[in-house]
Structures are given as C-alpha cells and as structure tokens.
Structure 1
C-alpha cells in the first residue's frame, strides 16, 4: 500500500542535531508514513543507520560528503513513494505528534490541493520552541483549500520548505531542483506557493526550525546577497506571467522590500558593495512595485521611500541618525563605568596599535596554572620544528615559582602581559582567554580543549541549571568567536564542539597532543615514573581519578579507601587523584600511606605520567578515561550515582551501555572486579577495544606535529602525517612489560 506521507530527512549532521531528530521520529510510531534519510557524509550515514536498525519505516540513502541540500532533497524525493512529501532538514526537529497531525490532515486533501502549509516553532541556542509568529496568517486562511489569490498573506510565512508539505506529483512537475535557484530554499518555498492551484492550511505546530548561530556558519558572500534580489525578481516574473491579481503581487513586494532593507542595514558590506546592492535593490523596488501599493507608516515607510528613490546617501544619513540615538541612550545608561573601562584599557589599546609579531606565541593552560596539557605538548613540538617562534606562558603569580627553569612567562594584569597579549601572532589555550583579550584580525587563536566530552558542555548546559549556574552564555559565545582552530581527538568531540560551541572556527582532527606520550614513552620511562612515585616492581598500581559533581556543594568521598585497600591486599597500590581530606593521627589511611599502599597524587603533574605508571584506571565520569584508553590498559567504571549525574549534569551518551570495561555500581562490586581477573578479562578488553576505536580515533603519537605543521608552519592538510589506524598502533609498554625488559 502506498504510504500517505513520506518524510524526507536531508543533509549532513550539523552540530549533532540529526540524532535528536531521528529520536523524535522514532518516538512517533505512526506506521502509515515512511522516512527517507538522505544522509550527507559518513557521520550522518552512521547516525541514520543506527536508528534505521530499530525503525522499519526508515530507509537510509547515503550521499557523498558535500552534497548540497537541493540535491539531497531531490534524491530523497526520487526514492520516496508517498503521496505527500515533507522535507525536514537534518538540523531541524519534529514536535511531538507532528507526524500524525500532518498525515491526518493530508489524508483529507484531494489531488486538487498542491501544498499544505503548517505552523512551526523556532529554537535557537538561547530559546526553545518559541512561537513562530506565522499563526496569524494561518488562522486567517482557515481550513479551506483555496487559490493563493484568496489568501495572499500566506506568502508572509517563514520561507522554508519544512513548513510546507507538498503533494509528490506536484513537486516533481515543478523540477525546482533543476532551476537556476535550486540551492535557494527560500525561493523554492515561495515558488511552490506561486505555482500551486490550491493551498491548504493547518493552524497547528508541525515543525521546529533550529536556527544555527550565525557565527558558526560560513560568511555570506556579496554574490549571495545580490542573488536575493534576483530571487525576488524571478518570483515577480512568475506572478507576471500568470497574470496574478494585485493581492499576491503586493504581499510579495512587501516581503521583498522588507528583506532587502534588512540585508542592507545589517550586512556590514564595504561601501562600494553596499552602494551596488542598494542600487540593484532600488531598481527591483521600482520595477515591481504594484500600481496601487501603499507604503507602511512610520520608519518602515521612510525606508521604503528612500530605497525606491535610490537615495543611498540619504539612507546612510538616516541610518547614522538612528544609530547615534541608540548610542547616546547606551552611553547614558552605562555612565561612569564605561569611562573607567576606557581609562583602564588605555595601555592595552596602545599596544594593540603596534604590529603583530609573527614569531611570538602565547600559551596558557587551566586558567594560567602553568606548563601543562595540550598547550605544553604543542609548545614542546614547536621548539623542535619551529624554533624561530618564541613561546611565552601566561602563569598566575602564585604558580610562577613552579615553572620549569628558563620558562619565559607573563603574569596577568602586568604591563608586559598586556604588551605580549596585544602583539602575539599565536594564542594557544586549553580553556578560554579572558573576555578582555582582543582578537586581532591577523592573530591566530587555537583552542586545544582538555578532554573528550561525556558531560554536556557549552550551550548544551542551558537545560541543566546545576551545571550552568553562574555561566554567562553571551560572554562564552564572545570568547568562542575568537577561535580560529579547535583541536579534536575524535569525531565525537568534533561534532559535540560544533554543537556546544557554535562558531566559524576550523576543526583540527589531529588528535590530542598531550596523548602523544602514550606512544612515545619507553619501558625505561615507565620504570622511572614508578620509581618517583615509590611503586615497587611487581606491585599492581590502580589509578583512581573521580570527577567533580555539579550537584554537590562540596567534595564527598565516594569510596572508603582504607577498606578497599585492605580487600585488595598488600600487592596493590592505589594512586588517588582527588580531594581526600583524611587527616590526623586517627585516620585509617595513615598506615596505608606510610606503607605506600595509598599514594595521594592529587597535585602530581603531568597526569599523563600517572597514567603511564598505572596498571589500570578506575574512574567514574572523568574524561581521563578517553586519554587512558590510548594505552590499551584496563579501565573500570565506578558509577554509584550515574542516574543522578546524568540527570543533573547532562551527558552525550550512555556510559553504562558503552563503557570501556567493567562497570561497578557499589564498592563491593568494585573490589570484586579486582579480586578476580574480571578487570582484564576477555569481555572487559572487548569493550575497551570498541571504546578505543571510537574515542582514540586521531591519537597516534603525532598530534602535536600535525598541529604545529598545520597552524604554525602553514602546511596543507593533505601534506600532514596521516593518522595511523587504531589497530596498527603500539602504545607504551605496560608496567608489567617494562619490568620484564
């Protein structure tokens, strides 16, 4: 039986939203519909295939990376068998019940109806499911199917295909994909209304537009802005050829002028391009103005008049006057604080007027803690491959004494700090630089991050108050917009960063530089680290590294270390990296510390050395698990509060279902894992292998080299050392192997 409705999901997986969309479809078990996923690229294909395995309605149509939206829609429509087509972009969503609502409404419509228009909600990084504002147009149209001339206000609906459900035969007869405007979705959305014999309306929400943050998208070109004018001229030609009455022509004219004025006012085009755009827009406004058209009142009417007169200079003066009024109001509101800030920044501003030093690089890690993490590994490789570039570390005053001898450094707030920050060509950090640091046009900011995300990060914390308390998301976005590059250890991280930190930076899928040591360390290195820690040969060392809980006001120990050490026996050493405050003579840990069976390594750096020294890792939800997996050594997850953590912090995947080894939910279970060989048995190592393939994707020992060559030496992506497949890598020797050598 022919399905009544074909939902065509199309596109790549922008910022990780495709999975949410397919989850929403799976939660709407309406059997009379089919779902065609025109998946662009490997990541979208993998997402689609995972969901299709559990949904018999779903058909996956893999398309090559880079396939445009128009071509993806066309491919999906060619495969679809339904009577009606609903195009759903991979970034967007379908509200609860939308599938049945649309299917029920289209089932009522005869073949004389070509398009069903529906309402939608709008979501951004700041808002969720905000009303569209289109409801008034739909309510005015009612439920009758009518020619567009009877409801011309429908041309004012947000011009996307997702809020139009289109009869399949009508769509194919239009051949929109073959037109000169095939890549212009707004053109297609308006054209289907102009060509339709009848349009039906549904004054119910059946679509969600997710508006991606502008800064995360490629910049709009001047040619694309000129093309908007051509779009509307072509649409007006269609109406002219049809001999359409004035109603649709007047509404389309208002839509056109409103958008052209908005583009001109907000685009920030250079003056020659802006003048040319204004001239072209003016010609279109004069050519297509309906005979009896009435300009709107107020400021909008003034804008119409100036555009139709091609009064570019007057329009700029009009803009400037409005801007001046807004600035005066803002200045009065800010008062003395603004004056104070300008005085405070005077020295920095002077430094910013000096040329950028192409051989100066600033490094910082963990909020100016010292030489550590990915920035440290990059700096070390930089000294080897590009010694002409001088590194300077930003270090807080109380940490400066702990720096390696000879480390050139600056202390935040000092005169030299502002001078170096202003002149440096390269700024490298595993967190963000302060808001006060200006992004110079010819400087390069490299965000290295400091872990693979299990927990929700960035904008994804919006729905989790315990995690986002006190976080200024607008300021966060301003810092993100300074990034030029974002370093990633795996595809999962790349996708989650795109979603959590939406801006127009370039991802570097090169691996985490700090993890290079897991492939370069020798048996002698492993033995030396264990000697420094006081771990005797033959002893099993277990690194215990729990993470912070946002839902707890303070630190709550999750294990009774004394009891655990007693159960595991004298041959096991616990390396504890956490905030354990067992003190005093009566502490049950006192004797265990003296005997070296419990070693507090909370302040030991670098943490990579602790990983090399350990035979196994025990953690809960810390990102250390992703790094440690490079060593191909056992990992045990201690998850006594997983449900609470996942609910309050938010997570990107179910660790209980995709753990890198054994999972213990109680201390007794944890002890039992290590009292037997369960911690490293076949099942545990099989889970570790799958985890390692997914999350150690780019870590092969040459990550720092790739970053330095790509960013500092300007080498092409194609010329970089290729990533060695996971199964072909040789990690550092285990402590057992190191002792045997």
Structure 2
C-alpha cells in the first residue's frame, strides 16, 4: 500500500501533461501511485498517459467513455486509490520539488490527521510567481486542530488540490464531487468542517498555473449559475449535521461574498443574465437567514436589483472622479513640494548635518550604519538623520533620528545636509547642491557585472535603467573601496567624476576585530546548540530565472549529510527575502528545526560571526567573510549559466577563497571529509584575503569619518601581505 495516491483528471492538456506527470514521478519521495483519469480528452492526452503507464508501474490510467467534467473524473479515480492519503492534482499544475517528502514528514509529525493543508504559488504564463497572499494562516497552529478551534483555516482558497486527505476518512464520510463548474466548493467546506483533525504546513507544494486565457471559471457564461447550486449543496450538508449548525451564518456570508464577486466582474456573466443571478443570490441569502448582524458589504442582498445597480453606478462614478482628480492633486502636491524645495535650497547648507540611508531606505544597516556609529563617537557635533520607509520605523533603534522618505521633513533635511552617505543611489529627484558631499559605500566587493557593464547583458539589465543609474552616480564625490580590484571595477562600471577612498569596508570592521566569542550571542538567539559547527549557506540570485531564485540542492539532504554536531544556517539574498523562495521548503525546514533560516537577521555581519564555515556560490558575501579567516567552500555548479546571463569580472573558480565543488556530491564530500578546513583551504584563503581584504584593517569607519567628515589627513590602510600572484589580474571583457 503506497503512502500517497495522486489523482490527476485529464482533459485537453496535452501541452502541460508531461510536465505535470514528471513533477510527481520525479519526486525524491517515491512511495506513491498516480491514478490518471482520461476524461475522454480529444487531444491525444490519453496516449501520453498510456505511454507513462507502460514505463512506470506506479501509473494507472482510466479512460472514460464520455466527458464527465473535473469533479466526476476525480470520483472515477478514487475507488482505484490504495494509498494512505489522497492528493488531487490538476493536469496543468505541478508539484514542486521535494513536496511529497515535506508532506510525508509533516503527516508523520502530526500523527496522520484527517486533512493536511499546504501552500501553493501562482505561476504566470509570462514567468512570474506569486505566493498565496494568506500564507500566514498556515503558521497559526503548530499542532492539529478542528475548524471550530481554528476557524481561520476556512479563509484559505476553497480548492481541493492544496490538501492531503486521509483516504479512510474520505471513504468513511462518503465524500464525493458533484457535477458542475464549482465542484471544489461542496467538497472543501464539508471536508474541513467534518475533519476531526487538521494540520497545516507552511510550504509551497503546488505550482498553480495561470494561463494567458485564464481558466474555465474566467469565461463569460451562464455556467456561473452553478455556484448557487453548489452552495445549496453546502447548506444542505450543514443542515444534515446538527453539530455544524453554528457555521450557517459564516457560510451564508461566504456565499454572499463569493456570488457578489462573480457578479461584479465584467467578464463573468452575460449582461442579460446579471439581474437573474442577483435575484437568485438574494433569494438564497434570505432562505438561510440567521440571527445576527449582516456585514455592510452584504446588506445589498437584502434589497432589490435596481438598488444594487444604483449602488454600483455610484461606486463607479466615485472611482472615475478620483481617477480624474488624481493628476490635479498630484500637480498641486508637486507645486507645494517645488515651493518648499525652492525655499530650502536657497538656505545655506548645514555643515553639521549628515543624512544616511541603506538598501533603499530599509533601516540602519550595512556600511552607512558603521559610518554613523563612528561619527557619533568621533564627530558628535555632526547630526545624523536616517531616511527610512514607514514599515521600518518599528524596528529602528530608539536613539535614531529619522525622516520618512518623500515626506516634508525628508525634503527639508536633504535640502540642507552637507553629507550624504548611502550604499545605493539616492532618488533621482534629490538635487545635489554645490558644497554637499556624497559618499557612496557600495555593497561589497564586486564579482558580478554592475553599472555600465550591464549594457552588454540584456537579461541582467531587465528592469534596470543603466543611463539613469549613471546620472544618479554623477552625484558621487567619494567611492569607498576595500581593495584595488574594486577600485578598478567602480571606475569602469561607473564612469563618473568621483574620487576613490581606499578606506576598507566600514561594516567589516566588526569582522576584522572579531574575538573568539563574538558570535556567541547570535548563536544563542538562533537556538544553535553549544559546541555545534555552524555551516552558513548564502546563495545569490540568478538572472537567468525570473524572480531570481534557483534551488541548487535539497537543503534537508545537506542538513542530514552534515551529520551530528553541525547546524546548517541559511541566509537568502536580500532580493529573495520577500518573495516565494522561502515557501519552497525553507520556512517549513526552519519550523521543524532541520535548518536555521537567518534571512531576517537584520545584520549579516552577526550571522557571519556566528558561523564556522561559509558555503556560497557567487555571493559577494565571500569577500567580507574572508576577513574572519574562516574556511569558505564555493558551490559553482552553474557557473556557465551564471556568467552567460550576468557576467563576472574574473573566474572565481580559478581565484577561489577555498575548495570549489562543481556538484552536490563534491560539496557533501568536502563538508563530510573535513577537507573544507585542510591546509589547501587555508592556502587558498590566504591568497584571497591578500587580494580582496587589502584595505580592511578594522579602522575603515574611523577612516571615513576622519578623512571625509572632519577633513583630517588621510589615514593609510595597513594592507595585508601581497598574494603570490598579481593583485591586478586583468578583468574579463565586458
């Protein structure tokens, strides 16, 4: 008996079917069977199914003599299922890599509940990916529950394919799909309300394909009247089970919201059918009336069709008026801003005012934060003000003075400040006044192409306006560099009139000056056992994949292969932190304690201090980490694709800071054998440090403050000994 029975109804999906089946059959978890139901598909999908069944005994194919629709095709497959749990997968969707292993582990952890709810992501025809907006509801309970105990679970999308169902539970309750367009509704509500135990998992297991023409529910048709019939079935089910009577008000409201949503969409119902749909919805709303208040948005169902139309027309008029007035309001606001700017920009600069920002106004971070700390000690007369976004305010240190981006205070401060410290470009509207000093810190040593060098890489340049970037860089007065490689790259990638300061990277001062116990506090906060060896994995983004996230190997497998006494800490690239990347397994592995997700740690320096070895691919983090003189392992299995899409200034494999793995097998061996910290690793790291940590001597922030804010003579950095090979290795052609 297999663990999973995956039921796949098939109709007119020849172009997507192989991808769907492969996503199931190529899972690392193999204890499964596939029940593929050919719903009399006229496009040759049945032949594809037969070919898969001939190659893989786990595939069973049913050919239906006539087309019965999605729900009844699933019904046809269920009697043939022998697995402990049922999963339903639409034949144009796919399972994500590692999904079944994650589901199996969560089921075991929660004692085989009746239903396990997992997450999904919409994948668009143009390549975009968007995670379920209600994913936070999946983290609300770590134990099992019922719908009465955690009613929030009912707010998730009412579909069948984001859940695993215990087959014994389904058969005992006699659940089946009715015919119709909206067949998921009378399945999902009864199942969740009846289940004696439900569990959730914060992991994207299904890629929900969004076709360019939309799905069947986005067509204009009278078939949308089926929604009313399906809700009638739900009310009938609830009425047959007295213990569920308390849910009728909730379901009545859900029905009203769902039907009004269909009615409001201009492309769902034929215009001549909308009045009938409204009246039938209102009739159902009255039929199942219960005591209690009616939400404001649903009171329209207690009135007439004419009243509803008047209300809709009024709402459209208000929206139109707002759209017409928006340019007027924007112009008026622009005039006010211009007037304020004119007044402020004709006042003298304040020689004791410095403005800071980091990572597009994300908080007190990186090199600007290190410079600000040093300025407080060495130049206390210089007032430091940070520019931040509103959502960052709660996390700011209590003694930080700040202004919100594009606020009146922001415009006043930036018009008067003498010093500007940033690791990205300031907004284009910010005018550089004569006498002001712009200090650009960058974000570490460059390996990937940047600035003007992107002009030859159209894929990496997607969404980047290089000429505008250079116009903003024209405001730089000083560019901080940690090594002569960076100095050469910045002058080439940003052909502007700035002066390089061989300062070192201010944020790396804490790494250069680190003591043996510097990472202890962070280890404790992350829950890392005392004495464990910490392996920090920090992958960078890829420009050859929309969204930037490419999973290079199975994190759970690496964590297991590391063995006892070792902790795998993962830190994603900042550009991936808010996307779906963590939903593809990282969040769930962190919850289970398999790995530690340190992506949200505000200061990456703390994470580096807490680790014993860095595993990375092409992340600039390696240049900073080398200051710790701790082992580094490169995982360079897609170097060709990476450089073809993004470009690199040199071959990191040839000038590596440690051993290089070209496959997961090599990586696992390096870490398991101890080669990651052998003499060869130390030799490679010594040469790397000499070349790329040349000006990092632990006094970078002090050097910036004394030289650029206080006007003192430049403090020469004390470079590390030169490498055996030339530090001025030629750049590869852009």
1:452 equivalent in alignment to 2:457 = no
The residue number in structure 2 matching 1:732 is none
Aligned ranges for residues 531-542 of structure 1 at < 5 Å? Answer: 531-542=524-535
Give the deviation of 1:674 after TM superposition. 0.5
Matched, 1:516 2:509: yes
- Deviation, 1:593, is 3.6
Does residue 648 (structure 1) correspond to residue 642 (structure 2)? The answer is no
Q: Show the counterpart of 2:568.
A: 574
Q: Say whether 1:525 aligns with 2:522.
A: no
Aligned equivalents of 1:353, 1:588: Cα separation in 2: 52
**Equivalent of residue 425 in structure 1, options 418, 427, 451:** 418
Within 1, Cα distance between the matches of 2:582 and 2:632?
29
Shift of 1:338: 9.8
Is residue 710 of structure 1 aligned with residue 707 of structure 2?
yes
Cα distance 1:662–1:433, how it changes in 2: closer, same or farther (>3 A)? same
Aligned match of 1:638 = 635
Report the counterpart of residue 375 of structure 2 in structure 1: 382
Task: Name 2:553's counterpart in structure 1.
Answer: 559
C-alpha contact (below 8 Å) 2:538/2:616 kept by paired residues: yes
Tell me what 2:470 maps to.
Answer: 477
- Contact kept, 8 Å, 1:542 with 1:614, in 2: the verdict is yes
Equivalent in 652, 660, 669 of residue 672 of structure 1:
669
Q: 1:417 to 1:628 in 2, by over 3 A?
A: same
Q: CA deviation at 1:522?
A: 2.6
Corresponding residue number in structure 1 for 2:595: 598
Point out where structure 2 has 5 or more consecutive residues left out of the alignment: 1-328, 724-734
C-alpha offsets along residues 453-509 of structure 1, whole Å, 9 cap, x if unaligned? Answer: 100110000000011123222222211110110000100000000000011111011
Matched residue SS, 2:384: strand
Measured in 2, the distance between the counterparts of 1:338 and 1:460 equals 37
CA contact (8 A) 2:370 2:701 kept: yes
**CA displacement at 1:398 relative to structure 2:** 0.8
1:723 equivalent in structure 2: 718
Any idea what the Cα deviations from partners look like across 1:187-211, whole Å, max 9, x if unmatched? xxxxxxxxxxxxxxxxxxxxxxxxx
- 1:465–1:674 Cα change, 3 Å: same
Secondary structure of the 1:542 match is strand
Name the CA shift for 1:570/1:420 in 2 (closer, same or farther; >3 Å): same
Q: CA deviation at 1:588?
A: 9.4
What do the CA deviations read for 1:198-244 (whole angstroms, capped 9, x no partner)?
xxxxxxxxxxxxxxxxxxxxxxxxxxxxxxxxxxxxxxxxxxxxxxx
3-state SS, counterpart of residue 523 of structure 1: coil
Corresponding position of 1:615: 612
Distance 1:531 1:421 in 2: 40
> 2 CA distance for matches of 1:359 and 1:411?
20
Show the counterpart of 2:39: none
In 1, are the aligned partners of 2:514 and 2:628 still within 8 Å (CA)? no
Distance across 2 between alignment mates of 1:582 and 1:437: 34
1:409 aligns with 2:402: yes
**Conserved in 2, the CA contact under 8 Å of 1:615 and 1:633?**
yes
| Deviation of the 1:646 alpha carbon | 0.5
For the Cα contact (< 8 Å) 1:582–1:589, is it kept in 2?
no
Question: What is aligned with 2:88?
Answer: none
Query: Which range moved further: 552-561 or 487-496?
Result: 552-561
What is the match of residue 368 of structure 1?
A: 361
Cα deviation 1:483-541 (Å, max 9, x = unaligned): 11000010000000000001111101110000000122333322222112211222110
Q: CA deviation at 1:415?
A: 0.6
* Deviation of 1:725 (Å): 2.8
Shift of 1:569: 1.1
Seen in structure 2, the aligned counterparts of structure 1 residues 532 and 588 have a Cα distance that, compared at 3 Å, is: closer
- Tell me which residue corresponds to 1:659: 656
**Residues 447 and 523 of structure 1: CA distance in aligned 2, closer, same or farther (over 3 Å):** same
- Report the CA distance shift for 1:475/1:619 in structure 2 as closer, same or farther (over 3 A): same
- Alignment of 1:439 with 2:436, yes or no, is no
Aligned mates of 1:341, 1:583 — CA distance in 2: 40
User: 1:562 touches 1:589 (CA, 8 Å); kept in 2?
Assistant: no
- The alpha-carbon distance between structure 1 residues 520 and 371, as it changes in their structure 2 partners (threshold 3 A), is same
2:622 to 621, 625, 636: 625
What's the counterpart of residue 348 of structure 1?
A: 341
Residue 542 of structure 2: aligned partner: 549
Aligned to 1:687: 684
Q: 1:708 to 1:678 in 2, by over 3 A?
A: same
- Relative distance call for 1:587 and 1:690 in structure 2 (3 A) is closer
How is 1:55-70 mapped onto 2 (pairs within 5 angstroms)? none
CA separation in 2, counterparts of 1:414 and 1:726?
48
Is this contact kept in 1: 2:556–2:594, CA < 8 A? Answer: no
Offset of residue 342 of structure 1: 5.6
Q: Residues of 2 paired with 1:337 and 1:395: CA distance?
A: 22
Partner SS, residue 519 of structure 2: helix
TM-score (norm 2): 0.51
After superposition, the Cα gap between the structure-2 partners of 1:682 and 1:688, relative to the gap in structure 1 and judged at 3 Å, is: same
1:231 corresponds in structure 2 to none
- In structure 2, distance between residues paired with 1:633 and 1:524: 14
Q: Please give the residue correspondences for 1:165-204 in structure 2 after superposition, counting only pairs within 5 Å.
A: none
1:413 to partner: Cα distance: 1.4
TM-score normalised per structure 1: 0.50
* TM-aligned CA distance change 1:569 to 1:629, over 3 Å: same
**Cα 1:687–1:491, aligned 2, differ >3 Å: closer, same or farther?**
same
Q: Distance in 2 between matches of 1:727 and 1:553?
A: 40
Describe the SS at the equivalent of 1:521.
coil
| Cα-to-partner distance string for 1:142-177 (whole Å, 9 max, x where unaligned) | xxxxxxxxxxxxxxxxxxxxxxxxxxxxxxxxxxxx
The answer as to whether partners of 1:567 and 1:671 remain within 8 angstroms in 2 is: yes
Find the aligned partners of 2:558 and 2:385 in 1 and give their Cα distance.
Answer: 44
Q: Secondary structure at the match of 2:608?
A: helix
Could you tell me whether the CA contact under 8 Å between 1:572 and 1:597 is conserved in 2? no
- Which residue is 1:392 aligned to? 385
Distance 1:468 1:536, change over 3 A: same
**Rounded Cα–Cα distance in structure 1 between residues aligned with 2:612 and 2:374:** 28
Contact conserved, 2:627 with 2:693, CA < 8 A, in 1? yes
SS in 2 for 1:614: coil
